[in-house]
Every structure is written in structure tokens, then in C-alpha cells.
């Protein structure tokens, strides 16, 4: 019997800006439409962020997130995984608010702090569709994506309270150990669901040996055999962002 695979479609994250692609969905309807299309093509899960429908900038707007969720759920039965990573500059409270309000089946859970650098892509573009894009990307040269043990403990409590399954996002191999600690401390229960996010400057490089090392470390550190999904994303920093 062949193994079954759960495919997650990351409809829009907070990395890409409108100048990078004419096909980036930014309105709630566009995001919902792409999620439904992914479901019809075989995806079981969609990962979504809310964006300003006029400019495409990532925003912590709970009403926009509601439009996205209802737009998807009213048309298909795929699992909607909402972000708690949010966008650059958002507070912890802003990032976790959609989980508290909408109690989704699945939500992203960033498993540690990193230098999350996107500024090297700026020279690739001479003109920008929106003024915010260059500033947003340039901001990351002096940005640390904060996910402290205190905030992770608080996230775990909120996820447990709402019955939401965390999708642990691993940007570097040391974050596997962070997840193991959360399990050992009793903040989260096994089995856990882990994604490896590679190719972000400041995190793990996007090469097979890194993926294999993280995979092996996951089994020995967290004691879980849960499988991360595989879904490629477009170019972000100097290398491309992938999940494997």
C-alpha cells in the first residue's frame, strides 16, 4: 500500500511583494479563489496570510482574515492553516489574535528566533509597484524575527485552549531542539506536526543534506514520527524558500 501524502498549498505568505509576481493574490477573494483551486487540484491544507487588498502589504486585519477563512470554508472542506508569523513589525498579540478569535484547525507556530533577511533581493528590481515594498524588504537588514521561549509557551497555551494544532515551522536545525523542549516541558503534546522552511537568509540553506540532517534530528530529539509536508514556494532571499 502506498503512503498517503498531505499537500499544503501556501497561498500567500508575508515574504513576497506585488512587484515580484503579477500572480500574487492579495484580496480576500483572490486568496480564497486560489485556495479553492488548490483544493480542486488535490491539496488538503492551505496556509494563508491577510494582505491589504489595495496595496498587497501584509496586515494583521482580523476582518480580512475572516473573509479569507469564510471564503474558503464556504466552498470546500480543506483545512485552513492561518499564520501566527504575521508580517514584519507585528506584535505577539497581533500575531496570535486570529487563533484566539477563529479557533482554526491548524495554525503556524514559529519555533524560534532568527535573523529573517530579505533585503538582498532589493537590487533585483529597479521599479516598485508600491512604495512600501522596498522599505519593507530593507527593514529586514536590521530585523530579528522574535519567537522567545516565553512567547512560545504563551502560544502553546492559546493553541491548547482553542484546540488548534500547531504547525511548527523550523527555519534552522536548532529549532528542532526547541520543539523537543516544548514537548518535554508539557507545553505541547505528541504527535507534533513539523515543517522545515529553508532558504531564508539567517536560517538553514536550501540543500538536501540540510533537510536530511534536520529530519534525522527531528526523530531523535522530538521522538515523533510525524511527517512534514512538501510544498515549494517561489524565490525569496538569495536562494528559494522551500518546505520539505
The C-alpha atoms of residue 165 and residue 61 are separated, in whole angstroms, by: 22
Query: What is the tens place of the pLDDT at every residue in 82-119?
Result: 999 866 777 888 889 999 999 999 999 999 999 999 99
Hey, what's the torsion of the CAs at 157, 163, 167, 172, to 10 degrees?
Answer: 10
pLDDT exceeds 70 at position 236: no
What's the pLDDT score for residue 127? 96
Select from 241, 236, 185, 244 the least CA-distant residue to 17: 236
Domains of the chain: 8-243 (3.20.20.70)
Select from 138, 96, 135 the least CA-distant residue to 119: 138
What's the pLDDT score for residue 226? 41
Residue 130 C-alpha cell reads as 508600491
The C-alpha atoms of residue 151 and residue 161 are separated, in whole angstroms, by: 15
pLDDT exceeds 70 at position 157: yes
Amino acid at each position: 500500500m502506498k503512503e498517503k501524502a498531505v499537500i499544503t498549498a501556501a497561498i500567500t505568505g508575508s515574504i513576497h511583494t506585488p512587484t515580484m509576481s503579477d500572480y500574487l493574490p492579495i484580496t480576500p477573494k483572490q486568496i480564497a479563489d486560489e485556495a479553492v483551486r488548490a483544493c480542486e487540484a488535490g491539496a488538503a491544507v492551505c496556509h494563508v496570510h491577510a494582505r491589504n487588498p489595495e496595496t498587497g502589504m501584509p496586515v494583521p486585519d482580523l476582518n480580512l482574515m475572516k473573509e479569507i477563512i469564510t471564503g474558503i470554508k464556504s466552498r470546500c472542506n480543506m483545512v485552513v492553516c492561518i499564520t501566527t508569523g504575521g508580517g514584519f513589525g507585528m506584535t505577539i498579540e497581533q500575531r496570535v489574535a486570529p487563533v484566539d478569535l477563529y479557533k482554526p484547525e491548524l495554525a503556524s507556530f514559529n519555533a524560534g528566533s532568527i535573523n529573517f533577511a530579505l533585503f538582498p533581493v532589493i537590487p533585483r528590481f529597479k521599479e516598485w509597484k508600491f512604495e512600501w515594498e522596498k522599505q519593507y524588504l530593507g527593514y529586514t537588514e536590521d530585523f530579528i524575527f522574535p519567537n522567545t521561549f516565553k512567547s512560545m509557551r504563551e502560544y502553546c497555551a492559546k493553541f491548547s485552549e482553542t484546540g488548534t494544532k500547531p504547525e511548527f515551522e523550523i527555519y534552522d536545525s536548532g529549532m528542532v531542539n526547541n520543539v523537543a523542549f516544548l514537548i518535554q516541558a508539557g507545553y505541547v503534546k505528541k504527535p507534533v506536526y513539523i515543517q522545515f522552511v529553508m532558504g531564508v537568509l539567517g536560517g538553514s540553506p536550501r540543500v538536501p543534506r540540510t533537510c536530511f540532517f534536520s529530519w534525522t534530528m527531528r526523530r531523535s530529539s522530538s521522538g515523533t514520527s510525524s511527517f512534514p509536508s512538501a510544498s515549494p514556494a517561489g524565490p525569496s532571499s538569495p536562494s528559494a524558500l522551500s518546505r520539505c
